[in-house]
């Protein structure tokens, strides 16, 4: 198992060394991002999508109006971690991040405006003062320090159902210029790297990278590919059995076709995973099994691109759709990646 | 979900009706079979195979001599449920059944001898008086009423490892003449049918059938195909997490290539399953999730061949090897099936 | 761990030996009992009890009329395994057994009538031809060969809730004359003994005994005590997590006071258990973890009364109520046991 | 369920309000604590203690010398999270915290020295530059920014055993002057409060408080009582079944008497817990089930002292030992608490 071997060896060249493509997190970012906090997805049919997320997966509906539905996980006290909006079906509309304070919000506005990037105040139900920006790669982002506090359902066990999703955990993005996107997120905004894949070349190039602010494996991961596109939204569940139960429920309540990949376990992140496609094709990951990364001397764990246990510690090979398909961001034309994508070889 | 629909409807035509290919279990078999009790497999390298079953899967070694290793599960008090013998590598050497009493053993001897079939007394370590026969289809069988009693390890939890296999549960056989094999096992030997698959024809033909003596879903199952061959030996585990733990262990201790299919859940039998190939290619199923069938008014549950949830309530499609490969019985040339095997179509 | 030691040693004196109080199962009982099949309990408030069993524990309601509610587990295809009747609140009204065939039913009628015991035909919704008898100790019993077939809910995973009870498994009875009750059930009716507790005397006396017909640890168990009374009805669940989930649900939906003992694990039977008291005080066990006992050479596993791991392999000591309280049978005055009950000593 | 009710209502008076005894975390602590990182315990017999933690619980031994053993969990890449030292048996020798950087370490030295408290540089195998201090209440603390990096065992699944402990999570301390201790940790050092218990008085007094730096429920919790003493060290496991498996293993490998309380679930923190006593009486908690607390608008969850589900959402009452016993800190005489401890009433 070469991946384990890599880990044992400590992950190859040190971050920031001449031979590493990894960029260290800046210790002094212009504003303090706490974590990924919500994702907004465009859907064709609100009721069908609500059925998938509420009846199929066990998310809690906080608010439903004519154009949008706001959902959250069972442990979440904030208003929403997922917004479904009836427009631009199949597109990802926005990624939302928590920042530390209102001051951080103002600093973020100044930061993006100084770069000449769109940065405007916006209103979204359930969120405090909110800044909408477009980052240098075209990702539509929201930043805010607070959400309306809702009753958490953590101890309302009578309402647990299917996957019993607890909370949003991360987003995974296809990046056409992965190195630059990583450098922006780590070097500028202070995301720390937990794991990465690079090529087996004399001067290795980054193929994929997992970065976080909140102290576990990721808030945002990047994969080389036609991008920017959203590969998936990851939701955290309590354990492997909650994922098995979700398979049982989905397969016998009309959602069998939603299962795209898994269950299985990734080498990277150690995630026990299940990938689903929602009614508009948005990809959802249910996962459990990652670990703490908050120590200051944490060294990123490196994997080689051709390590078969990187992607799949065990499990069936991923289907072609999993490698190739993703949700475009509304109004943003994705580009071919700078590094050619290898043909998928099932193992 | 058509399979569930079938079940709801009670499984189609009644057993024994003109339009059903199922044969009812004779209420008065010539001798009383209790359950499948062991399988004997030919292996090329005893130590490699021992490592797979003991270190990889957590079976307990009862006895090891120069030519054979005898293993059992954690709840089993009998001497063995699996014999690995260093001869005819890749072949299945014998299937062993418990009978009710020594009298049943004598009755079995008379029954097979009267049919002109080989039926001879034999010695096997750890078994009481043992009858070896060849049934009308060529399967080499052993019958015995007792095994040497060993200490069960059920409450030796410090020794639980990987799948923590509890006991043998069933064998699954490819049958070239499935209807006749079923008629022999049910009509002659008293096996009761729990579930079956038939074709969607005016006069449906049996495609596969699950039969038992011990009161759960199966001791022996038959699948239409090049046969007789052993498709797999099924071992019972306590729950889904023991199978996930086995995947984790196998994938990180050198046995990743042994995983052939799963985990997933069958519609038929409701089994949560994992299929493995041992070092000689013998297929092992780890499973959990079936149910009681001992009621006298139990009616077999029917599935149609083209029901996608019959094979896979959920999970990745089975690979071609799973449909086509199996262990031959030593010295027995398998035949093409009477019903042509449909090409495998992944769903 | 003396219990494990006992097991290792094979359980002490052989059944039927001069020094053993165990009676072997008669190989030729007058009629063939398949398994325990239902229990009928008297309740004060049908709706409150329905809420406990349906909303609290996840049983399925098959039928509800003015005076009674009929429930079943998720794998059960028969009409009911539990009847709640609004009369004689707190009393057990009847224990129901499946027999092999209609002929066995007639044989049962002749058997009890010949003993001068009440044995009359009765009608119960959802049951086939039914015989009501009173056994020599006063237990009101029902025998029948069939139940109305219902749709099983085994693969209706969207309806799984709380404990997701699969099926009835056993009843446990206080017996005032335990030795005679055991001799009747084993010597007359053919129940086989799986485990037992006896005293540490030169001539050991039976303290408790677990007996079965269906091939697992028990259909009926007897405990020395003021009897006849019903100690508990045991329902089978898929695994330990279903019991943990039931605790979570019950504790947060108004049924926290129903938890009487557990979760923990018994030495005897290896059951992972939770004991509940329903709104009328009837005791329900949720359990998982026993094993097959169908082999003809199965030898009962013996435990000594003072082995602390007999009752509790691990877990908190049982409260006094668990040792002392039970449901009386309607109209039957329980008697003091022939063997004095030791004071409860928590360990 | 009043606890859930409290949570629904948002936890009572706002932090820092006139009527709340809670103190908000200072946003600018003198040095940046990352998390609790290790505990050092005095033991009488190194080999016996090693057996308990390694063979009983599945911790990994990093280093063993004549006087001490260093252990870590399966996901931990640092050198140790537990040190067992053969001196002052039964005493807690030190609590170790990670700080963000070497600069923070120097700042910590200046901070404690300025207060006139002992603050000296020390050497401990496997730790980087280390500061030993005594805090105002007498707790012996270690601070360091780094540990020697070891191979993590996260994906060495073949070595998982018993509880398969992943990492240290928190310490729980008896505090004689709980309000002052809380004010020091929150107001001075920047610990944030996740949950708390206060009295049902017009001016509520803090009874217990859960505080963290790393973004889950706690790094350190305080309970009113004879103190300072260590109530327990909490280790994190993957799920409820790992705790059940630990019970099974401990109970059948000679450590049954180590189980003090549980398994059960706390209302506070939502922890599914098991409390053990090691060979010297040190209390260990295995737990799983808490939640993220990193949002800046997180509001502490309040419970009233007389809420029965605060301590025990469900489960047997805690024994008296759990309320009263703890490990003294070496050389430090504990004091009676300022608030009298209520007699324990089992519920």
Do B248 and D156 count as a contact with CB atoms less than 8 A apart?
A: no
CA distance A52 to chain D (A): 25
pLDDT for the residue numbered A19: 72
Among residues of chain B, what percentage have pLDDT more than 90?
A: 88
> Among all residues of chain C, which has the CA nearest to that of D316?
C316
pLDDT for the residue numbered D341: 82
Evaluate if residue B346 carries a pLDDT over 50: no
Partner C contacted by A336 (CB < 8 A): no
Give C83-141 pLDDT, tens digit per residue. 999 999 999 999 999 999 999 999 999 999 999 999 999 999 999 999 999 999 999 99
Give A54-76 pLDDT, tens digit per residue. 999 999 999 999 999 999 999 99
Residues of D in contact with C4 (CB under 8 A): 252
**Average pLDDT of chain C?**
93
Residue among A10, A240, A294 minimizing CB distance to D34? A294
Residue among D240, D248, D314 minimizing CB distance to C256? D314
Give D308-335 pLDDT, tens digit per residue. 888 889 999 999 999 999 999 999 999 9
Give D77-89 pLDDT, tens digit per residue. 999 999 999 999 9
Give D95-144 pLDDT, tens digit per residue. 999 999 999 999 999 999 999 999 999 999 999 999 999 999 999 999 99
pLDDT for the residue numbered C2: 34
Partner A contacted by D2 (CB < 8 A): no
Within chain D, strands assigned E span 33-42, 60-64, 68-72, 82-85, 92-99, 119-122, 130-134, 140-144, 167-175, 192-198, 206-212, 220-224, 229-236, 259-265, 272-277, 283-288, 301-304, 327-328
> Among all residues of chain D, which has the CA nearest to that of B155?
D252
pLDDT for the residue numbered C184: 98
Do B158 and D251 count as a contact with CB atoms less than 8 A apart?
A: no
Instruction: Tell me which residues of chain A, numbers 34 to 73, contact chain D at a CB-CB cutoff of 8 Å.
Output: 34-35
Evaluate if residue B13 carries a pLDDT over 60: no
Residue among B100, B154, B267 minimizing CB distance to C296? B100
Give B208-249 pLDDT, tens digit per residue. 999 999 999 999 999 999 999 999 999 999 999 999 999 999
Is residue D233 within 8 Å of D171, Cβ to Cβ? yes
Evaluate if residue C80 carries a pLDDT over 60: yes
**Average pLDDT of chain D?**
93
HSE toward the beta carbon, residue B5, CA cutoff 13 A: 8
CB-neighbour burial class of residue C19 (10 A; exposed 0-12, middle 13-18, buried 19+): exposed
Among residues of chain D, what percentage have pLDDT more than 90?
A: 88
HSE toward the beta carbon, residue A102, CA cutoff 13 A: 3
Is residue A227 within 8 Å of A337, Cβ to Cβ? yes
Residue among D155, D157, D249 minimizing CB distance to B157? D249
pLDDT for the residue numbered C18: 56
Confidence of residue C19 (pLDDT cuts 50, 70, 90): confident
Cα C332 to Cα C88, C94, C138: the distances in Å are 12, 12, 7
Do B313 and A251 count as a contact with CB atoms less than 8 A apart?
A: yes
Give the pair of three-digit tokens for residue A328.
Answer: 């475009």
pLDDT for the residue numbered C11: 38
> Among all residues of chain A, which has the CA nearest to that of D146?
A297
Partner D contacted by B324 (CB < 8 A): no
Is residue C16 within 8 Å of C23, Cβ to Cβ? yes
CB-neighbour burial class of residue B114 (10 A; exposed 0-12, middle 13-18, buried 19+): exposed
CA distance D149 to chain C (A): 36
Gap between the Cα atoms of D62 and D124, Å rounded: 14
Do D7 and A152 count as a contact with CB atoms less than 8 A apart?
A: yes
Residues of D in contact with A166 (CB under 8 A): 291
ipTM score assigned to the predicted complex: 0.94
Is residue B252 within 8 Å of B243, Cβ to Cβ? no
Partner C contacted by A251 (CB < 8 A): yes
Residue A294, classed as helix, strand or coil, is coil
Gap between the Cα atoms of A11 and A17, Å rounded: 13
> Among all residues of chain B, which has the CA nearest to that of C100?
B296
Evaluate if residue C272 carries a pLDDT over 80: yes
Per the listing, tokens 């089994």 go with: B271
Evaluate if residue D212 carries a pLDDT over 50: yes
Residues of C in contact with B238 (CB under 8 A): 239, 289
Q: How many of the other CB atoms lie within 10 Å of CB of B271?
A: 24
CB-neighbour burial class of residue D341 (10 A; exposed 0-12, middle 13-18, buried 19+): middle
Evaluate if residue A10 carries a pLDDT over 80: no
Confidence of residue A341 (pLDDT cuts 50, 70, 90): confident
CB-neighbour burial class of residue A201 (10 A; exposed 0-12, middle 13-18, buried 19+): exposed
Residue C29, classed as helix, strand or coil, is coil
Evaluate if residue B7 carries a pLDDT over 90: no
Partner A contacted by B252 (CB < 8 A): yes
Gap between the Cα atoms of B273 and A203, Å rounded: 44
Is residue C178 within 8 Å of C169, Cβ to Cβ? no
> Among all residues of chain A, which has the CA nearest to that of D313?
A155
As a whole number of angstroms, the longest Cα–Cα distance in chain D is: 56
Is residue B175 within 8 Å of C325, Cβ to Cβ? no
Total CB pairs under 8 A between chain B and C: 103
Q: Which residues contact A305 (CB under 8 A, 6 or more apart)?
A: A197, A198, A199, A200, A207, A342
Confidence of residue B306 (pLDDT cuts 50, 70, 90): confident
pTM: 0.95
Residue among C160, C245, C252 minimizing CB distance to A155? C252
| For residues C295-318, average pLDDT | 92
Gap between the Cα atoms of B100 and B105, Å rounded: 8
Residue among D3, D291, D296 minimizing CB distance to A34? D296
Which site among B158, B160, B247, B288 would you substitute to test the D interface, given the most D Cβ atoms closer than 10 Å to its Cβ? Answer: B158
CA distance A161 to chain B (A): 18
Angle A150-A155-A157 from CA coordinates, rounded to 5°: 115
Do D244 and C240 count as a contact with CB atoms less than 8 A apart?
A: yes
Do A270 and D100 count as a contact with CB atoms less than 8 A apart?
A: no
Confidence of residue D18 (pLDDT cuts 50, 70, 90): low
| For residues A38-51, average pLDDT | 98
pLDDT for the residue numbered B232: 98
pLDDT for the residue numbered C121: 98
Do B245 and D160 count as a contact with CB atoms less than 8 A apart?
A: yes
pLDDT for the residue numbered B2: 34
| For residues A325-337, average pLDDT | 97
Closest to B63 (Cα-Cα) out of B75, B48, B46 = B46
> Among all residues of chain A, which has the CA nearest to that of D295?
A34
Partner A contacted by B20 (CB < 8 A): no
Give A79-100 pLDDT, tens digit per residue. 999 999 999 999 999 999 999 9
Partner C contacted by A159 (CB < 8 A): no
Give the CA radius of gyration of chain A: 19
Do D4 and A156 count as a contact with CB atoms less than 8 A apart?
A: yes
Confidence of residue A11 (pLDDT cuts 50, 70, 90): very low
Is residue D274 within 8 Å of D285, Cβ to Cβ? yes
Instruction: Tell me which residues of chain C, numbers 183 to 222, contact chain B at a CB-CB cutoff of 8 Å.
Output: 214-215
Q: How many of the other CB atoms lie within 10 Å of CB of A87?
A: 12
Q: In terms of pLDDT, which residue wins out, B290 or D342?
A: B290
Instruction: Tell me which residues of chain A, numbers 217 to 246, contact chain B at a CB-CB cutoff of 8 Å.
Output: 240-241, 244
Gap between the Cα atoms of A316 and C270, Å rounded: 35
Q: In terms of pLDDT, which residue wins out, C305 or B142?
A: B142
Partner B contacted by A259 (CB < 8 A): yes
- Phi, psi for residue D106 in degrees, rounded to 5: -65, -40
Residue A6, classed as helix, strand or coil, is helix
**Average pLDDT of chain A?**
93
pLDDT for the residue numbered A3: 35
Do A252 and C158 count as a contact with CB atoms less than 8 A apart?
A: yes
Give the pair of three-digit tokens for residue D306.
Answer: 């007389």
| For residues B314-342, average pLDDT | 95
The rounded Cα A18 to chain-centroid distance in angstroms is 29
Partner A contacted by C151 (CB < 8 A): no
SS (H, E, C) B80-135: CCEEEECCCCCCEEEEEEEECCHHHHHHHHHHHHHCCCCEEEECCCCECCEEEEEC
Is residue C30 within 8 Å of C111, Cβ to Cβ? yes
Gap between the Cα atoms of D194 and D188, Å rounded: 17
CA distance A248 to chain C (A): 6
Strand-pair partners of D84: D41, D69
Confidence of residue B85 (pLDDT cuts 50, 70, 90): very high
> Among all residues of chain D, which has the CA nearest to that of A104?
D296
Task: Look up residue B310 and give its DSSP letter.
Answer: H
Give D156-198 pLDDT, tens digit per residue. 999 999 999 999 999 999 999 999 999 999 999 999 999 999 9
Which site among A3, A238, A251 would you substitute to test the B interface, given the most B Cβ atoms closer than 10 Å to its Cβ? Answer: A251
Q: How many of the other CB atoms lie within 10 Å of CB of D252?
A: 24
Give B142-166 pLDDT, tens digit per residue. 999 999 999 999 999 999 999 999 9
- Phi, psi for residue B103 in degrees, rounded to 5: -65, -40
Q: Where are the alpha helices (DSSP H) in C115-197?
A: 178-183
Which site among A260, A263, A271, A275 would you substitute to test the B interface, given the most B Cβ atoms closer than 10 Å to its Cβ? Answer: A263
Which site among C250, C263, C271 would you substitute to test the D interface, given the most D Cβ atoms closer than 10 Å to its Cβ? Answer: C263
Residue B262, classed as helix, strand or coil, is strand
Among residues of chain B, what percentage have pLDDT more than 70?
A: 93
Q: How many of the other CB atoms lie within 10 Å of CB of A124?
A: 20
Which site among C51, C151, C155, C157 would you substitute to test the A interface, given the most A Cβ atoms closer than 10 Å to its Cβ? Answer: C157
Partner B contacted by C325 (CB < 8 A): no
Do D4 and A155 count as a contact with CB atoms less than 8 A apart?
A: yes
CA distance B312 to chain A (A): 10
Confidence of residue B17 (pLDDT cuts 50, 70, 90): low
Partner D contacted by A158 (CB < 8 A): no
Gap between the Cα atoms of A303 and A3, Å rounded: 6
CA distance B162 to chain D (A): 7
Closest to B311 (Cα-Cα) out of B258, B276, B283, B273 = B273
Do A252 and B313 count as a contact with CB atoms less than 8 A apart?
A: yes
């Amino acid at each position: 198992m070469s991946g384990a071997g890599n880990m044992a060896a400590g992950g190859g060249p040190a971050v920031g060394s001449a031979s590493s493509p990894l960029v260290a997190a800046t210790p002094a970012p212009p504003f303090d991002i706490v974590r990924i906090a919500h994702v907004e997805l465009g859907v064709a049919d609100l009721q069908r999508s609500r059925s998938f997320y509420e009846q199929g997966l066990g998310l809690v509906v906080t608010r439903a109006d004519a154009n949008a539905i706001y959902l959250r996980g069972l442990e979440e006290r904030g208003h929403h971690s997922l917004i479904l909006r009836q427009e631009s079906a199949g597109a990802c509309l926005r990624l939302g991040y928590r920042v530390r304070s209102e001051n951080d919000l103002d600093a973020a506005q100044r930061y993006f405006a100084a770069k000449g990037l769109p940065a405007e105040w916006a209103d979204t139900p359930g969120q405090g003062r909110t800044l909408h920006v477009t980052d240098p790669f075209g990702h539509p982002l929201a930043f805010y320090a607070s959400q309306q506090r809702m009753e958490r359902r953590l101890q309302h066990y009578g309402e647990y159902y299917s996957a019993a999703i607890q909370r949003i955990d991360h987003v995974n993005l296809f990046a056409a210029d992965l190195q630059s996107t990583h450098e922006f997120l780590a070097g500028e905004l202070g995301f720390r790297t937990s794991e990465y894949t690079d090529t087996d070349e004399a001067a290795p190039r980054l193929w994929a990278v997992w970065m976080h602010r909140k102290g576990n494996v990721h808030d945002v991961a990047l994969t080389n590919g036609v991008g920017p596109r959203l590969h998936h939204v990851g939701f955290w569940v309590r354990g492997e059995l909650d994922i098995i139960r979700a398979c049982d429920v989905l397969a016998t309540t009309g959602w069998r076709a939603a299962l795209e990949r898994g269950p299985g376990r990734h080498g990277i992140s150690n995630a026990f995973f299940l990938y689903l496609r929602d009614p508009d094709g948005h990809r959802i990951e249910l996962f459990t099994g990652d670990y703490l990364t908050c120590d200051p001397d944490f060294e990123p764990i490196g994997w080689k691109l051709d390590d078969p246990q990187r992607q799949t510690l065990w499990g069936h090979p991923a289907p072609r759709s999993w490698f190739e398909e993703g949700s475009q961001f509304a109004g943003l034309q994705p580009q071919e990646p700078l590094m050619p994508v290898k043909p998928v070889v099932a193992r």
